[in-house]
């Protein structure tokens, strides 16, 4: 049985007070709704990690994740944060390969493969993002493109290492645009990616890997998206900044 996961990506938003208020609201709503069997991951900017972790406390089912990590173990890399440091603060997950990191910071497949190694070495669960632009989607090469991203950054892992990874499919053309891939389009891509994983790691491991949808999911479409057989949850952007919207998405299972 695959995990059901809803991860909130706060991106570069919220002051200290706003972040603590949002976390408190989410924790209280999560407990109040008696939600079970859905893993919730809060991914705030780095300065929020300690206070968010403290507010989450021992709440069963809610974890804290980072939005990125360094590809280095440590040393003279001003401004970087290593997986080792993140793990020492009780961080459990880390988002890697988000389209904004690929586009704005020119992170390539080699760097991402190294970041994956660092995360796993320190016990973090990577949420590995992959996806295609509108141009690639319209050219009809979207499946080939996204499969290549998985191959380049993940297929060096052993079966045991790979089984710890979470995948997040991002139709880049549906992030922050108000557009959303239809549930059918999402299912088609998730099934194609799972099939690709099976070619390397076999059907059993491929069937165990959670694949999240990362394209503007909201309380209005999450239930239909999560109802598809290969969609195991969501990596949520804007809607994760509103506690009630976020919890409604969590409840969509």
* Residues annotated as part of the active site: 98, 170
**Helix extents (H) in 1-141:** 16-32, 49-56, 83-88, 99-104, 109-121, 134-139
Task: Give the bridge partners for 128, in sequence order.
Answer: 96, 167
Cβ atoms of 55 and 23 closer than 8 Å: yes
Cβ atoms of 181 and 215 closer than 8 Å: yes
Question: What is the rounded CA–CA span in Å between residue 65 and residue 172?
Answer: 21
Cβ atoms of 194 and 211 closer than 8 Å: yes
DSSP codes joined into one string, 198-250: HHHHHHHHHHHS-EEE-S---TTTHHHHHTSTT--EEEESGGGGSHHHHHHHH
Q: Report the candidate in 126, 129, 236 with the shortest Cα–Cα distance to residue 176.
A: 236
Task: Give the bridge partners for 62, in sequence order.
Answer: 40
Question: What is the rounded CA–CA span in Å between residue 187 and residue 1?
Answer: 18
Question: What is the rounded CA–CA span in Å between residue 181 and residue 38?
Answer: 23
Question: What is the rounded CA–CA span in Å between residue 90 and residue 213?
Answer: 25
């Amino acid at each position: 049985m695959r995990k059901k996961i809803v991860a909130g990506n706060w991106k570069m938003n919220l002051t200290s007070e706003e972040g603590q208020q949002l976390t408190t609201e989410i924790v209280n709503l999560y407990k109040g709704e008696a939600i079970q069997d859905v893993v919730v991951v809060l991914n705030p900017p780095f300065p929020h990690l300690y206070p968010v972790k403290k507010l989450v406390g021992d709440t069963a089912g809610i974890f804290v994740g980072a939005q990125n990590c360094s590809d280095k173990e440590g040393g003279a890399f001003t401004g970087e944060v290593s997986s080792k440091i993140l793990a020492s603060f009780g961080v459990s997950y880390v988002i890697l390969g988000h389209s904004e990191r690929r586009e704005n910071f020119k992170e390539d497949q080699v760097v991402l493969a190294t970041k994956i190694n660092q995360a796993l070495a320190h016990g973090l669960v990577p949420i590995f993002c992959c996806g295609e632009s509108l141009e690639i989607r319209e050219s009809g090469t979207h499946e080939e493109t996204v499969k290549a991203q998985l191959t380049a950054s993940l297929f060096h892992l052993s079966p045991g290492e790979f089984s710890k990874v979470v995948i997040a499919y991002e139709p880049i053309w549906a992030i922050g645009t108000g557009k959303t891939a239809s549930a059918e389009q999402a299912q088609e891509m998730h099934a194609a990616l799972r099939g690709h994983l099976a070619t390397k790691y076999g059907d059993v491991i491929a069937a165990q890997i959670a694949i999240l949808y990362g394209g503007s999911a909201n309380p209005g479409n999450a239930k239909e998206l999560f109802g598809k057989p290969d969609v195991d949850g969501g990596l949520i952007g804007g809607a994760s900044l509103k506690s009630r919207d976020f919890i409604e998405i969590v409840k969509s299972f």
